[in-house]
Chain A
């Protein structure tokens, strides 16, 4: 603003009114301005017009964004669906009943009309009574208010001026009398009104009842009508609600979002709460009925597990991008990070949605075959995640191959090194075998788990041969020079029979964790858990019968930290098994000899170690001064440190050495520029890098020029494509995204700990638990000999019984006629407790104190005996010493143990519907849809029959406790 005021300063010169005709006064032609007014007007007009056009365009465009189109289409489909439902509901109306009601209604109306005078008279009385009730009630309420005032006046005066209080007390008491009178009048009137209403009811009640019945008949139809008008209130109303500017109030088209305070989106330098807007377009995602609707409206295919309000991962708590990844707050197709499953879909998307891959988005959505990776954000333990087979396979592989030996990985901090203890290597193996084994483990047995360090893609050329052999020799001789004696308890007794041993291995349960040679495919199930223990092929070419005998007889006596449980073999059985195992040989392997040591090559390697910390000349001098023995020891020790052998094996002198591999705590969030793709021609993504690395860990040395000690060191595990995929899933799933602990609390500690132990002991090698496992079943043709499913174990067995069974499974055998047996895992109290709590927690069963006392009657006990006889339970179930004359596979568990083993309520559930608890069980159902097939006992009453079964089982067959009759 100018400082000049209208009254002060320099007065404005008066401008004479312009003479329009005078060209000198025509502003546009005067030439004393730097711009042309007319031209400016034109430009102003044009730009205004353009601004207007673009504004309109902008609004039109904004109001036609994809998500709005989807929402409109969804509304349209919903209306169509509702109309179909309305038609169905209309058809479903019971017209006969409706007509009948209408007929009765007409008759009732006729009665009413006939009694019109009476009804009018009663209604008149009722109205008069209502009027009187109102005024009386009013007087009563006023009197009460007055009384409150008067009582307070009296109280106050009594306290401050007692002399004048008496009149006030009298007034208040009079008022109280008045209140009581009024109340009585009100109550009397209420009674009269009730009586008169009942009198009226006699005449008109029938009509009201019929009207309500009629509305009830068409209730669904009317409800759907209401739904329809809510969905589609008409074009005009919808248009006004969603019109620009007006839509700030209550639009029907709106961006839906789920805010997740506890889950974060990782932006650079800050974490912001996730705001998932996916449901803006995926409008039917949580509506089960919309399973068949077109995308993007299709319901989530697994609402029982995800999204559904009752599922473990409800939408409001977990959102969508937590698992699917993608950009949480985007509402455009490509920006949201959709990723096609295949090229066909990609072409389709490019055609329909102009799809492109947003290269700036760090977390595009995961394709469906990799989505399980997201489970790791919350399921951080080492146990299996239900219904995530590929992820679990990856975890099993990591546990089996011991990746955490060299790489720090979350969840495996306390897991034992996977390889055998090498401090007593000399007691089990000979040097020649070890050298040949190191050179190529899979030449010894195709299923070897030991990875290959030498003769790989970056050190396999002829120029490496002498060097590789020298390195292998040095390591082997170093290990044997440090080996301590580990005396065996006993020599294998003579008379071990290989054929009997083979039958034992194939029947006692060894094959739950072990296989002999390659595992044949079984379309019915995966068998990767049978790789948990070492493959038994070629054992005879490796170690002695004495060693094997001691090992299978008592693994812990040979190696205290082994994972191998004992199957409680007798000495004779152990001798048979040892005879069998030692008969498994690899003749081709035995004929080959390991090459002699090339000292020049050894010198070259030794020099590499001597050079560290000294000059080249000093190193040469040191080397010249060393004996061959010294060179081998120096080199062997150095190589063990270089290759990190101690990551998997206990080696004397390396007990506390730090793992040599790259840390893998968040490999899924490692930045792309931190990967060395070398000269490999692959797509530059994390997934591709990890996949290439897993398939051939030395692949990135291709075309690189390096000194031998600089070469990549990760050994080759020989993973196939499926295994590579499973491991890559884990690696990409370990991301930096922080999930607050309360999001993980849903997984109770009991369940996580149990799943961890189940994985650690490979329980699933034999048993199906939480719907997965039982790999050994592929080796057993007769399903009667399968190990039990443990799907409802927590609800089934008593905590105390389970606890002692887990610790001492040999004490009391349920099915002693089976050759397969539950191994003794040497579980300590804490571990047995972990499992007990786990089984109870997944079944939501009480733990550890339960009441097994049974309240019964003598009638029930008698009926129970009759039911047992009728159902002929003893045809299959032994009870103590009475064992039916049948094949072992056809016998059922011993009922004499039931009372101390089973939970009483489970027995009833089991008898009611065995297939529901154990699909495929041989236990027949005696109740079909709850109706008994065992007639004439306890009035065919199913619940009472089930109780009678239970009572007989627990109190007559077993020595359960009966609740004392009062």
Chain B
């Protein structure tokens, strides 16, 4: 009679408890579980929003140290092809500006956006037993093409801290290899182990707001309006930072001044 029904009820209850108890939303799959986890974060950055600019010069105070002639006797080819080459560590223009300085934004840009790397590769040429350019900047996942324009063996040995080291030998004139760095970091050196005087410096960024003072000692970076921490980096004199605020359509002036520290 009653007990039979009660037993049935209890059975049903426990069934229900066993069947659908717990769970809820306590656990969920990690983000990107469906896409293999490699999805770009955030919406894409639109270069058209870079309506403001930062520009300036890298000034050098005092007399520039004299750069020494490079002793290239280790390789007869270089002795000939690179005759007269001087160290490129400190190069100052006639109007007192420091060449080969990196300028880049450290903070202030929208880090929530996805900045796509440029489609065109940066090219690092080896010519006359030196690297051209001596200092350059690039983006992560951007292709970098190493070219050997010399008729001798070079190797490109990059010494990043975060990325995998690259060490490629190029024995034949005209040879090209393409690689890329996948982690933003820098600056770091690229050297040739065969010709130890050959060096070049680069940094890898996760945004496009970086440049060098090139041959003129001047620079310009296009940015969206905002306030930025701007960094200048030189292989010998190190880092200087500055801050700048720009509105749309304007170009803010920010110069850095380096000098040879007292010995």
Contacts and interface: CB of A to CB of B under 8 A. Distances in A.
Interface of A: 52, 55-56, 59-60, 63-64, 68-69, 72-74, 76-77, 80-81, 84-85, 87-88, 235, 238-239, 242-244, 292-294, 297, 870-872, 875-876, 884-887, 890, 914-915, 919-926, 928, 933-935
Contacts of A64: 17-18, 21-22
Contact of B23 (A76, A88, A244): A76
A875 B6 contact: no
Given A69-B22, A73-B22, A63 B14 contact: yes
B167 A77 contact: no
Interface stretch (B171-179, B227-235, B251-259): B171-179
Contact of B30 (A87, A244, A294, A919): A294
A81 B175 CA distance: 46
Interface string B49-83: 00000000000000000000000011100000000
A934 B169 CA distance: 9
A921 to B, nearest CB: 7
Interface in B109-143: none
Contacts of B33: 80-81, 84, 292
A73 B152 CA distance: 63
Given A64-B21, A84-B33, A239-B19, A890 B28 contact: no
Given A871-B169, A928-B168, A238 B19 contact: yes
Contacts of B35: 88
A493 to B, nearest CB: 37
A887 B155 CA distance: 17
B183 to A, nearest CB: 16
A933 B159 CA distance: 21
Contacts of A924: 153, 155-157, 167-169, 193-194
A251 to B, nearest CB: 10
Nearest to B194: A875
Nearest to A85: B34
A570 B115 CA distance: 62
Contacts of A80: 29, 33
Instruction: Across the A-B interface, give the 9 residue pairs with the lowest CB-CB distance, nearest first.
Output: A924-B169, A924-B155, A69-B22, A84-B34, A239-B19, A292-B30, A922-B193, A872-B153, A63-B18
A88 B27 CA distance: 22
| Interface residue SS majority, chain B | loop
B18 A242 contact: yes
Contact of B153 (A871, A885, A890): A871
Nearest to A921: B167
Contacts of B236: none
A293 B22 CA distance: 18
Contacts of A928: 168, 177
8 contacts: A59-B14, A80-B33, A872-B153, A875-B75, A885-B74, A886-B196, A920-B159, A925-B169
Contact of B19 (A85, A242, A926): A242
B10 A920 contact: no
A292 B172 CA distance: 46
Contact of B171 (A238, A242, A923, A926): A926
Contact of B172 (A73, A870, A890): A870
A42 to B, nearest CB: 16
A81 B169 contact: no
A914 B10 CA distance: 71
Tier of interface size on chain B: 35 or more
A871 B19 CA distance: 70
Contacts of A922: 155, 157, 167, 193
A853 B64 CA distance: 61
Interface in B138-169: 152-153, 155-157, 159, 164-165, 167-169
B26 interface: yes
* Candidate in A68, A884, A922 with the most chain B CB atoms within 10 angstroms: A922
Contacts of B74: 875, 884-886, 890
Contacts of B73: 885
B17 A63 contact: yes
A872 B171 contact: yes
Interface string B76-106: 0000000000000000000000000000000
B22 A77 contact: no
Nearest to A873: B153
B248 to A, nearest CB: 40
A693 B74 CA distance: 60
A426 B171 CA distance: 65
Nearest to B168: A925
B211 interface: no
A80 B28 CA distance: 9
Contact of A72 (B13, B23, B34, B171): B23
A77 B27 contact: yes
A925 B152 contact: no
B244 interface: no
B199 interface: no
Contacts of B193: 876, 890, 922-924
Interface string B185-198: 00000000110100
B22 A52 contact: no
Contacts of A60: 13-14, 17, 21
Contact of A872 (B14, B165, B167, B194): B194
Contacts of A87: 34
Contacts of A84: 29, 33-34
Contacts of B26: 73
A919 B19 contact: no
B15 interface: yes
A933 B27 contact: no
Contacts of A72: 21-23
Contacts of A69: 21-23
A933 B175 contact: yes
A928 B172 CA distance: 15
Given A52-B10, A72-B23, A872-B152, A293 B167 contact: no
Contacts of A876: 193-194
Given A73-B23, A871-B153, A875-B75, 13 more contacts: A63-B17, A64-B22, A73-B22, A87-B34, A88-B35, A243-B14, A243-B19, A244-B11, A244-B14, A292-B32, A922-B193, A924-B156, A926-B169
A270 B163 CA distance: 53
* Candidate in A72, A80, A238, A920 with the most chain B CB atoms within 10 angstroms: A72
B33 to A, nearest CB: 6
B22 A81 contact: no
A928 B156 CA distance: 13
* Candidate in B6, B19, B175 with the most chain A CB atoms within 10 angstroms: B19
A870 B171 contact: yes
A878 to B, nearest CB: 13
Contacts of B213: none
B211 to A, nearest CB: 30
Nearest to B37: A292
B170 interface: yes
